[in-house]
Structure 1
Amino acid sequence: MNLKLELKTIMENDYRVSEHYNYMLISELMLENIGSADSELRDTLIYSTFSRWILQNTFTPVQLRTLLYSAWDERHMFYKIGETETDSVFTRSFSVLLLPLILTANRISSFLTTTEIKTIQEKLVQFLNDEKDYRGYVAGKGWAHAVAHAADAIEEISQQVLSTDDMIALLVSIRNVVCTKATVFTNMEEERLTSAVVTLLEHQELEGAVFEEWLTGFLQWDRTKELQEEYKIIFNVKNFFAALYFRLEGRSSPIFAEAVRRVRQELMKPYV
């Protein structure tokens, strides 16, 4: 099968196929190629096809569970994790992007077990803690955006039933990513991470004191005298706090926005 040609034909037919079409066979091929360096195949065709089919109830719950178990395995979401500046990031990043689609389907039909939702939460925490390739757009190959895609998954799982410990673990994994000296985020990652946090606060019950303790943790990194390195963290945290503050301001829980303002002020105190 010429996968690219097949998917183009499906897309041109508004993603409709015959009732006897073998969705799972082509899905296996799409999973095998989900990390292609060809952005048209990876993003425009494979991801878009998965998105339409998953959200339009093309797959049965059993088939969705099969896709989920493949997405989070060592050949996909954790494929060569820890590598940087290699094409393996595309496999990881676009496998992660299947999770919010499946979680969205679950909000409609509730086919995932509590254990499976817990496993997704644990996999996302592990992914954000272990992923080291923070590139956004890669010239000639398109979007990698592993952090943004993981944020999308966290935003969606935040609308499921989570324990306080699960929520805190997700928040800490977000904090760990923001507080990096490896890069300065410039591809709107802070907005996607903010969406995840705001959605969590809107759908879960989190005490103000727990939230503020999490915020204070952003100030507690190992500081050095190398300002060019320190400024990377400060820039990332400052931008994330600004995005978070303006998204929370005016909502039903102003206590959260005020906590962000106070901690951001503390962050900037030595530098203004």
Structure 2
Amino acid sequence: MKYQIPDILAMSNAERKLLIEEDASPILQEMLIHIGHTDETIRDHQNLRLFLEFIQYDLLSLSDKQYLVSQLTQTSYFYFNIGEKDTDSIFQRALTALWLTYLIRSDAGQAFLTKNQFDEILGLSTRYLSKEKDTRGYIEGKGWAYGIANGADLELALIQNPKFDIHDAAPILQSIRDCFWKGTVYVDDEEERFVEIIEALIRKGIDEKLLIEWVEQVFDSLEYSKQSSGYSPLFLKARTQTLHFMKTFYFALKFRQIMPELQGVVSHFIGQWMKIR
């Protein structure tokens, strides 16, 4: 490639636009190669920064964005070595989710994705949150992984997109529930992102009864685990994480003065599970 990423970052927007219009392919290919680089400077301060500036200043054509989506939805990006824990593959997956988030937000205004493409990304995103096992946030010496948080942000962007159909809410709720059972208690405000997802579903018109049923199922899972496996480490972490989420969810509902029946159900279960029985 004639220009390296730091060279392009040093250009003005007008210069970048001319360069992209001339031939975007080698630039985008180079950026995709470095999307999950373990060096934070290359991955975030150069590569991600350039991508965000391309999006912010609308320097990419619709075909460029289509190309990026076609690459990022491949297994070698979004699902790269999914199931691994504590390996560097998390950066490939987490940054793919982040890039797709910004592309979905861009699509909300420009509508460059077909409904089938949108639905494919929605399916990939819900399965990603369910399957991702690496829950790390900041990794010393390598920077932010944030796979769960980025996956949640992608789901939020998808819900906020005009193409989203509220009838597709069930897999999203299931993916959030799965995040409570990853053997960890989140420490980087992930539960607030989960609450944002449900608030977005509420704004889209999800039925209160469906959310009540979901909350009951979340706590049914805890009861089943306790009865079948006792006070295992997995159960205890799931209980703590569930309560962290539900407390945040309860106050979000209360402050917005919405869904009083759901508020009562959430409050009831919080009181029931506050102490280990």
Question: How does the TM-score come out when normalised to structure 2?
Answer: 0.88
| Structure 2 unpaired stretches of 5+ | none
- Cα deviation for residue 249 of structure 1 reads 2.2
- Tell me what 2:211 maps to: 211
Q: Is the CA contact (8 Å cut-off) linking 1:148 and 1:192 kept in structure 2? A: yes
Q: Describe the superposition over 1:10-64 as per-residue Cα deviations: whole angstroms up to 9, x where unpaired.
A: 3344655251343332111111111111011111221221122123221122211
1:93-108 matched pairs, under 5 angstroms:
93-108=94-109
Judge conservation of contact 1:35–1:88 (CA < 8 Å) in 2: yes
Q: CA deviation at 1:211?
A: 0.5
Counterpart in the other structure of 1:184: 185
- SS of residue matched to 1:133: coil
Asked if 2 retains the 8 angstrom alpha-carbon contact of 1:190 and 1:240, the reply is: yes
CA apart distance, 1:260: 2.8
> 2:70 aligns to what?
69
Are the equivalent residues in 2 in contact too, given 1:55–1:105 (CA < 8 A)? no
Look up the equivalent residue of 1:99 and give its one-letter code.
L
Moved more, 146-155 or 7-16: 7-16
CA separation of 1:183 and 1:205: change in aligned 2, threshold 3 A? same
Structure 1 residues 178 and 8 mapped into 2: Cα distance closer, same or farther (>3 Å)? same
Contact 2:17 2:59 in 1 (8 A): no
SS in 2 for 1:100: helix
Per-residue deviation, 1:262: 2.9
What CA distance in whole angstroms lies between the structure 2 residues aligned with 1:20 and 1:227? 57
Equivalent pair of 1:147/1:189 in contact (CA under 8 Å):
yes
Rounded to whole Å, the distance in 1 between the matches of 2:10 and 2:19 is 19
TM-score between the two structures when normalised by the length of structure 1: 0.90
After TM superposition, give the deviation of residue 236 of structure 1 in Å. 0.7
Match of 1:141 in 2: 142
Q: 1:26 is matched with which residue?
A: 27
CA distance in 1, matches of 2:12, 2:207: 46
Residue 255 of structure 2 is matched in structure 1 by 250
Structure 1 segments unaligned to the other structure (5+ residues)? none
AA at the equivalent of 1:116: Q
Superposed counterparts of 1:114-193, under 5 Å = 114-160=115-161, 161-180=163-182, 182-193=183-194
Query: Does the CA-based 8 Å contact 1:179-1:218 persist in structure 2?
Result: no
Give the aligned partner of residue 266 of structure 2.
260
Alpha-carbon offset, residue 67 of structure 1: 0.5
Query: CA 1:60 to 1:83, structure 2 compared with 1: closer, same or farther past 3 Å?
Result: same
Matched ranges for 1:7-26 at <5 A: 7-13=5-11, 17=16, 19-21=18-20, 22-26=23-27
Question: What is the CA distance between 1:134 and its match in structure 2?
Answer: 0.9
Instruction: Give the match's secondary structure for 1:57.
Output: coil
Whole-Å separation in 2 of the counterparts to 1:18 and 1:124: 31
The C-alpha deviation readout for 1:179-238, integer Å capped at 9, x for no partner, is 33x222112111222222222222x11111101111112112222223544221111111
Runs of 4+ that moved beyond 6 A: none
The SS at the match of 1:158 is helix
Aligned residue type for 1:19: L
User: Per-residue deviation at 1:94?
Assistant: 0.3
Q: Describe the SS at the equivalent of 1:250.
A: helix
Task: Give the match for residue 79 of structure 1.
Answer: 80
Question: Which amino acid is 1:266 matched to?
Answer: Q
**Which residue of the partner structure matches residue 271 of structure 1?**
276
Using the TM superposition, give the Cα deviation of residue 254 of structure 1 relative to its aligned residue in structure 2, in angstroms.
Answer: 3.5
Q: CA deviation at 1:100?
A: 1.3
The residue number in structure 1 matching 2:236 is 231
C-alpha contact (below 8 Å) 2:126/2:155 kept by paired residues:
no
User: Distance in 2 between the 1:32 and 1:53 partners?
Assistant: 17
- SS of 2:18's equivalent in the other structure is coil
Conservation of the 8 A alpha-carbon contact between 2:130 and 2:178: yes
